[in-house]
């Protein structure tokens, strides 16, 4: 299933189902969980969040991460490191 097909399917569903589907497809993590997931300490994670280096979102003062976004971020870092070695 392509990304466009998935988006179209979400648009065709009633509003309540769209919100439920969008939330259920993403795995929300708290900072402690995100730190363990990426393999760093809590303090290092929060320092990088404040510096704008790690993708996150806030609800009020609380900080959250999604597993999917962190995986993409890690993949991007890995690809950049491989491109630097190839040159």
pLDDT for 51 equals 97
Residue 18 lies in a domain: no
Joined tokens for residue 82 = 């491989």
* pLDDT at residue 31 in the model: 98
With CA atoms as reference, report the closest residue to 65 among 54, 53, 78.
54
Q: What is the pLDDT of residues 42-85, one digit of tens each?
A: 999 999 999 999 999 999 999 999 999 999 999 999 999 988 77
Domain presence at residue 70: yes
56, part of any domain: yes
Number of domains in the chain: 1
Assigned domain for 59 exists: yes
Task: Answer whether residue 65 is part of any domain.
Answer: yes
Q: Which domain holds residue 73?
A: 27-86
Taking the C-alpha atoms of residue 59 and residue 66, their distance in angstroms, rounded to an integer, is 13
Nearest to 21 by CA among 29, 30, 31, 11: 11
Q: Is residue 45 part of a domain?
A: yes
How far, in Å, are 20, 65, 67, 69 from residue 10 at the CA level? Answer: 10, 22, 20, 19
């Amino acid at each position: 299933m392509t990304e466009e097909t998935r988006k179209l399917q979400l648009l065709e569903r009633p509003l309540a189902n769209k919100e439920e589907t969008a939330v259920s497809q993403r795995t929300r993590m708290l900072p402690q969980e995100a730190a363990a997931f990426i393999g760093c300490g809590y303090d290092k994670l929060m320092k990088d969040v404040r510096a704008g280096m790690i993708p996150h979102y806030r609800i009020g003062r609380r900080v959250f991460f999604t597993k999917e976004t962190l995986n993409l971020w890690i993949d991007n870092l890995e690809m950049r490191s491989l491109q630097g070695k190839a040159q």
